[in-house]
Amino acid sequence: MNTQPFVVAPKNYPHPLNVIGVKVTVLASNAATQGYEITMQEGDEGSGPPPHSHDWDESFYVVKGKVEFSYGDKTVMGVPGTLMHLPTGTVHSFRFGSGGGAMIEVTGPGGLASKMFTNIDKEVPPGPPDIPKLIGILQKYGVAVAA
């Protein structure tokens, strides 16, 4: 199948998905690009996923606020203009800083993030998550939560 050009303007953004407190707007799925995915992720102070890894590369570009990224034994504070690249299999997490923030996420080929985010939004309601249910969804998409 040939990939077709497309434009996603702010007025046409899909409704943001609620992914354990982070608002995720899927701008380009791998079905649309036939490879990578692009999302916009926005969160309030302190929101973000636990340490985890998956079978696709992932890069984040901070556009607003501060985002604390952790990987291995390192922690980096990202400010607008910061790019963080995490290769396949890297255990990582992030937390939005004071006042919240926003960033663009780009996944490598074969990423399943947009499908996973859609499933989490559908199956895990806002508020304290049902951890066993959440872990089951993550595992379905090849995501391992670090202990």
Domain boundaries in the chain?
18-145
The pLDDT score that the predictor gives to residue 1 is 62
pLDDT per residue over 34-72, tens digit each? 999 999 999 999 999 999 999 999 999 999 999 999 999
CB neighbours (10 Å) of residue 25? 19
CB neighbours (10 Å) of residue 19? 23
pLDDT per residue over 13-29, tens digit each? 999 999 999 999 999 99
C-alpha distances in Å from residue 79, one per residue of 34, 100, 112, 139, 141: 31, 11, 27, 31, 30
Token pair recorded at residue 39? 């999302």
Under the banding of pLDDT at 50, 70 and 90, the label for residue 118 is very high
- pTM to 2 decimal places: 0.93
What class is the 18-145 domain?
A: mainly beta
